[in-house]
Amino acid sequence: MSSPYGSMDTINNAGHNAYKLVIDPHVATAIWAIVLAVACALVMIIAEMVKRRNVPAKAKQRGKTPPR
């Protein structure tokens, strides 16, 4: 279904030729979902980097030296 207005609609301000973008609510919801998913992925990547950086030295050496 198409909107009775174009994708750009004028704002009713006297003396101003400003435009506002008219976005379908479903498209806006999809955009927010994508933004939220990217933000969550970024947080998970950063948390994994911090976790690997803070690994104790003994845990790092366990894989390198043979067991006694």
> Within a domain: residue 47?
yes
pLDDT tens by residue, 29-67: 999 999 999 999 999 999 999 998 887 766 666 665 555
Whether residue 37 is contained in a domain is answered as yes
The whole-number average pLDDT for the span 2-6 is 54
Report the candidate in 18, 29, 25 with the shortest Cα–Cα distance to residue 3. 25
Residue at 14 is within a domain: no
Residue 14 has pLDDT above 60, yes or no: no
Q: Look at residue 19 and tell me if it is in a domain.
A: no
Backbone angles phi, psi at 16, to 5 degrees: -120, 140
Which range of residues forms the domain containing residue 34?
Answer: 26-54
In the chain, how many domains are there?
1
Is residue 65 assigned to a domain? no
CA angle in degrees (0–180, nearest 5) for 35-36-37: 90
**Is residue 2 domain-resident?**
no
Average pLDDT of the residues in 7-14: 55
